[in-house]
Amino acid sequence: MPTTAMMVEQLIKMREDPNGVPLDQFWKLAERFRADLVNQAFVILGSQEDAEDVAQETLSHAFLNLSKLRDPSKIGAWLRGINRNLSLNLRRRYARAKEERLSTGQCDALEAPKTPTTGPIATGEMIMRAVDALPEQFREVLVLRYWEKLSDEQIAERLEVPIGTVWSRMSRADLILAEKLQLLMKQERHAK
Amino acid sequence: MIQNCETYAGSFRRYIEGSLPADDAAAMLKHLQGCADCQAKFDAQKQVISMLGQAYSSRRISEEFDQSADRKLMQLHRKPQPLPSATAVLEDGEEEAFLDGRDVESGSWRDRLSAAPWWAVSVVLHGLVIALAGLISMAIELPQNDDIMVTVTELSQRPVVAVEEEKKRQEEKSALASKKETPPTDPTSLEQNQVIVPPELLAKAELGDHFETINPDRPDTQSAFGNPDAQMFHSEKGSDEPEGGGGNAGFTLDDTIGVGGSSSPGSGGGWGGGDGTGIGVGRGAGKGSFGNRGGGGRRLMVKKHGGSKATENAVDKALRWLAYHQEIDGRWDCDKHLSNKEWRWGGSAAQSAQFDTGVSGLAMLAFLGAGHTLKIGEYRTNLQKAAAWMISQQSENGDFTGKQQPCNSAAKMYGHCIATLAMAEALAMNNGKDWGEYTDKGAGGSLRQSVEKGIALILKWQEDNNHGGWSYNFNGQDMAGPLDPTATGWAVMALKAAKIAGVNIPAQSFQRATESLRAVTHLDKAAGDYGSAIVGYRGKAAMPFNSKGYACTAAGNVIWLFCGLPVTDDYVAAGTHFITTPDALPAWNFKPQDANTDHQNLYYWYYGTLACFQAGGDHWKKWNKSMIDALVPTQCQNGDDAGSWNPDDVWGAWGGRVYSTALGALCLEVYYRYQKISDK
């Protein structure tokens, strides 16, 4: 059965009667998205702990608000929307709390260095950001590989696509990334 | 055989990852030779794959992800909040927009998103003016008026309790947020100079050299060598992440001790040694006082300062014993693990029963010293339970022994100071982030509040003492008489740890402790090469059990060092010399008739180990060897006691097996527990 259709069907059921759906079924569904959400939040927050927290929150909110999902086939984008907002919100709270602490002199001992980091952007960070900006079909194969450490076969299984599709999406993703990174590096050199 | 380039393209990745069957690989390679186009694609892909591999080498969704998500869902379900935090970001009416699937990414948004810098979306969506250095900046501070708006929204939407929680959460995050701007700890940065690592060690470390599992029969799961959380020791190449890579560089304060780096999981194998959380730690040395408690920093320090696999193994075993013997409520029961032998300095079950707080604090310190924190490490739940118990025990005036009845003055003094030290270290190793899960229990409130209250009481005791030090000679409520170095040692260490955790400690407090300690020290500069400094016990006259003054001198040295004196200070140097004379060195050869010496006195060894470690040189070599010889072979190996040390020392009848085991572990953790000042 094609995944999307099955998913949509399940989602519609869940939406109508959230209490009638066993939670584990939702989490099973969520497995497909969680890596993507974590990656997205990580790019915003820079910490895996926070990123996972946010992704968990996103999924929880999503489950409780399923009835508000108007087009179940767009669940991925919907989740990302919530996730991004939660991430930005948390980052803002960090910034504000830090501001407060600095202004009240509470954290002179832990004060950040006077000058902000000016070092070169870490390649790792840049590449994660680039992954996050990929179109969905390419992004999802990569996050499953790199966050969930799944093999090509497992990815094919989880996404319910032929393995050849996984291979071709991955190569395509690599090449898009290569281009993007080249561009970013050029920009960075330029910025310096 | 004609195959088009497209067909091969799909196999590049598999070839690079090594999963392409040999036949296909041969055909592919042959094609590459004749096709420059494909060769270029292949090269590009190879580079990307290697970068991806590095970027994500230490990334993996936590095993507890679903469980935690479940818990969050339950919480939300019980206390429904219509997307509280997200709501706050959005302007009126926007909640619907992002809940109904009309998402930023649908339609043309997607194109924009992939083409535009990631933050641009938020700019467009919220109409906020964001000044940004460019793609590279992670730390964006949004305009303040927006922040105010957020606060107002939250206040009006959420009950008071939730606001409180929110506040706490912000506080928790704030320290972390400030850490995020720590400069990169890459080998080429200036900070490298602060870490002195022998070149040959460094060379090995950079090659990814790692210790084998210590004991092949028993997979070593706890130490830096085998902590599953620290799996990226084994990654082949470090990353150049500015943060992560085993945590940020530790902060270094103006004086003796710095604070460790971020406890956020690192992104693997970077230079920074991390904060001793054992996560994502690279092969580099850490910086800051707690900077080396785990991972790469820990391994380097063990090697550098004279530890070995045997000492690390002993630490592991001791921690395991402690973990298994923690009570269900989180404390350690002092009189449950007493030796039934009789020792000269008395002790009884009734007395020991009053020391639960003290020995629980020691046990916490043993875990913290090995890099376990409230959040990270195999024993985090043990620490969480212990910290919760501590908070539950605290009375309104901050006293961690507040609920202990009866509680003699020694149990109160030691118990409270040790507990405060442990809680302050827990706070510091949590990046100064608060931890308030148990706010409803006990008077202390959250971790930070309990530390602040505990410290306030320690400072009050010092204020009340006309000599400026601490002793457990309580005169009614107040402390009187000259300083007792054994009690003062814990008090000063607690102040120092709290200072690292961001608690405000008046500088004159350390100053007064230094002076007050000098007042009970007999310094004879003319004696021998180093002179002699003997710290007395509440006065220059040594007490009977302290006939030679070793323990008090060791404690005195630690106090001075923690107060900021250099190891070359007259008093400190003479003290170091004194406690490394042959009679003073640790040896596990206790005979009851020797009870009035310090020979076998873990309490002395604890202080002596810290003091000599800082002194370094031959003094440390001598001490370290004796300490290892005294502790490693005498650790119990069998049965329920396996991993512990028999409480067969001068104070064993008071503190029991928890005391002896925790102190034994703390001695052997010395290599990485605090930063060596001269390493800065």
Instruction: Tell me, yes or no, if B669 comes closer than 8 A to chain A by beta carbon.
Output: no
- Name the burial class of residue B136, with classes exposed (0-12), middle (13-18) and buried (19+) by CB atoms within 10 angstroms of its CB: buried
Closest chain A C-alpha to B73 CA, distance in angstroms: 5
Looking at chain A, the number of H-run helices and the number of E-run strands are 8, 0
Give Cα separations from B401 to B360, B388, B420, B484 (angstroms): 11, 14, 10, 19
Please indicate whether, in this complex, the C-beta atoms of A85 and B89 are within 8 angstroms of each other.
yes
| Nearest-CB residue to B10 (from A57, A84, A167) | A167
Please indicate whether, in this complex, the C-beta atoms of B178 and A171 are within 8 angstroms of each other.
no
The phi-psi region of residue B347 (left if phi > 0; otherwise alpha if psi is between -120 and 50; otherwise beta) is left
- Residues of chain A where predicted confidence (pLDDT) is lower than 70: 1-8, 11-12, 14-24, 104-122, 191-192
In order, the DSSP letters of B458-502 are HHHHHHH-TTSS--S-EETTEE-SS--HHHHHHHHHHHHHHHHTT
Residues of B in Cβ contact (< 8 Å) with A59: 69, 73
Which residue would you say has higher pLDDT here, B676 or A141?
A141
| Nearest-CB residue to A96 (from B45, B170, B251) | B170
Residues of A in Cβ contact (< 8 Å) with B432: 107, 110
Q: Residue B279 carries which DSSP code?
A: S
Q: Which residue from A minimizes the CA distance to B54?
A: A124
Instruction: Tell me, yes or no, if B12 comes closer than 8 A to chain A by beta carbon.
Output: yes
Q: What local confidence, expressed as pLDDT, does residue B194 receive?
A: 36
Residues of B in Cβ contact (< 8 Å) with A83: none
| Nearest-CB residue to B178 (from A85, A107, A126) | A107
Tokens of B430: 């949590």
What is the Cβ-side half-sphere exposure of residue B190, based on CA atoms within 13 angstroms? 3
Q: What local confidence, expressed as pLDDT, does residue A184 receive?
A: 76
Across-strand partners of B251?
Answer: B259
Residue recorded with tokens 């700019």: B123
- Chain B residues 232-251 with CB within 8 Å of chain A: 239-244, 251
Distance in angstroms (rounded) separating the CA atoms of residues B663 and B649: 11
Q: What is the pTM of this model?
A: 0.50
Q: What local confidence, expressed as pLDDT, does residue A16 receive?
A: 67
| Nearest-CB residue to B177 (from A65, A70, A94) | A94
Closest chain A C-alpha to B99 CA, distance in angstroms: 6
Please indicate whether, in this complex, the C-beta atoms of B86 and A167 are within 8 angstroms of each other.
no
Distance in angstroms (rounded) separating the CA atoms of residues B587 and B605: 10
Residues of B in Cβ contact (< 8 Å) with A54: none
| Nearest-CB residue to B66 (from A27, A61, A93) | A27
Q: With contact defined as beta carbons under 8 Å apart, do B83 and A170 qualify? A: no
Q: What is the pLDDT of residues B87-143, one digit of tens each?
A: 333 333 333 334 433 333 333 333 333 333 333 333 333 433 333 333 333 333 333
Instruction: Tell me, yes or no, if B231 comes closer than 8 A to chain A by beta carbon.
Output: no
Q: What is the pLDDT of residues B537-553, one digit of tens each?
A: 555 554 444 446 788 88
Residues of A in Cβ contact (< 8 Å) with B85: 57, 85-86, 89-90
Residues of B in Cβ contact (< 8 Å) with A100: 170, 174
Query: CA A130 from chain center: how many Å?
Result: 12
Please indicate whether, in this complex, the C-beta atoms of B134 and A187 are within 8 angstroms of each other.
yes
**What interface predicted TM-score (ipTM) does this complex get?**
0.86
Residues of B in Cβ contact (< 8 Å) with A91: 140
Q: Summarize the confidence of residues B658-667 as an average pLDDT.
A: 94
The class that CATH gives domain A1-112 is mainly alpha
Distance in angstroms (rounded) separating the CA atoms of residues B12 and A181: 19
Give Cα separations from B396 to B127, B491, B494 (angstroms): 48, 19, 19
What angle do the packed helices A23-45 and A48-64 form, to 10 degrees? 140
Q: What is the pLDDT of residues B363-422, one digit of tens each?
A: 999 999 888 888 777 888 889 889 989 988 888 888 999 888 888 888 888 899 999 999
Please indicate whether, in this complex, the C-beta atoms of A82 and B189 are within 8 angstroms of each other.
no
Please indicate whether, in this complex, the C-beta atoms of A46 and B243 are within 8 angstroms of each other.
yes
Domains belonging to chain B, first-starting first, are 5-55 (1.10.10), 78-158 (no CATH), 309-679 (1.50.10.20)
Residues of A in Cβ contact (< 8 Å) with B82: 65
Q: What local confidence, expressed as pLDDT, does residue B441 receive?
A: 47
| Nearest-CB residue to B77 (from A50, A64, A181) | A64
Q: Which residues contact B64 (CB under 8 A, 6 or more apart)?
A: none
| Nearest-CB residue to B68 (from A44, A56, A100) | A56
Tokens of B77: 């379900």
- B555 has a pLDDT exceeding 80: yes
Containing B659, the helix (H) or strand (E) segment is helix B652-668
Residues of A in Cβ contact (< 8 Å) with B47: 178
Report the residue of B176, B188, B434, B435 to disrupt the A interface, i.e. the one with the largest count of A CBs within 10 Å.
B176
Considering only CA atoms, which of B679, B625, B536 is closest in space to residue B191? B679
Closest chain A C-alpha to B97 CA, distance in angstroms: 10
Q: What local confidence, expressed as pLDDT, does residue B662 receive?
A: 95
Q: Which residues contact B568 (CB under 8 A, 6 or more apart)?
A: none
Residues of B in Cβ contact (< 8 Å) with A68: 96, 99-100
Q: What is the pLDDT of residues B434-489, one digit of tens each?
A: 776 544 444 446 888 889 999 999 998 888 877 788 877 665 455 667 778 888 89
Residue recorded with tokens 């009570």: B327
Distance in angstroms (rounded) separating the CA atoms of residues B422 and B390: 10
Give Cα separations from A183 to A178, B54, B506 (angstroms): 9, 20, 52
- Name the burial class of residue A73, with classes exposed (0-12), middle (13-18) and buried (19+) by CB atoms within 10 angstroms of its CB: middle
Report the residue of A11, A49, A166 to disrupt the B interface, i.e. the one with the largest count of B CBs within 10 Å.
A49
Closest chain B C-alpha to A51 CA, distance in angstroms: 10
Q: Summarize the confidence of residues B75-84 as an average pLDDT.
A: 62
Q: What is the pLDDT of residues B162-204, one digit of tens each?
A: 445 555 555 555 544 443 333 333 333 333 333 344 444 444 3
φ, ψ at B381 (rounded to 5°): -70, -35
- Name the burial class of residue A127, with classes exposed (0-12), middle (13-18) and buried (19+) by CB atoms within 10 angstroms of its CB: buried
Q: Which residue from A minimizes the CA distance to B123?
A: A88
Q: Summarize the confidence of residues B30-50 as an average pLDDT.
A: 88
Q: What local confidence, expressed as pLDDT, does residue B418 receive?
A: 95
Please indicate whether, in this complex, the C-beta atoms of B114 and A135 are within 8 angstroms of each other.
yes
The 3-state secondary structure of B75-119 reads HHHHCCCCCHHHHHHCCCCHHHHHHCCCCCCCCHHHHHHHHCCHH
Q: Any idea which architecture A116-192 has in CATH?
A: Orthogonal Bundle (1.10)
Could you tell me the residue ranges of all domains in chain A? 1-112, 116-192
Dihedral angle over CA of B661, B662, B664, B668, nearest 10: 140
Distance in angstroms (rounded) separating the CA atoms of residues B276 and B252: 15
Instruction: Tell me, yes or no, if B7 comes closer than 8 A to chain A by beta carbon.
Output: no
| Nearest-CB residue to A125 (from B65, B100, B241) | B241
Q: What share of chain A is helix, strand, coil (3-state, %, to 5)?
A: 80, 0, 20
Please indicate whether, in this complex, the C-beta atoms of B173 and A177 are within 8 angstroms of each other.
no
Closest chain B C-alpha to A1 CA, distance in angstroms: 24
Q: Which residue from A minimizes the CA distance to B141?
A: A95
In order, the DSSP letters of B298-330 are HHHHHHHHT--HHHHHHHHHHHHHHHHT--TTS
Q: With contact defined as beta carbons under 8 Å apart, do B520 and B535 qualify? A: yes
Residues of A in Cβ contact (< 8 Å) with B14: 152, 167
Q: With contact defined as beta carbons under 8 Å apart, do B478 and A86 qualify? A: no
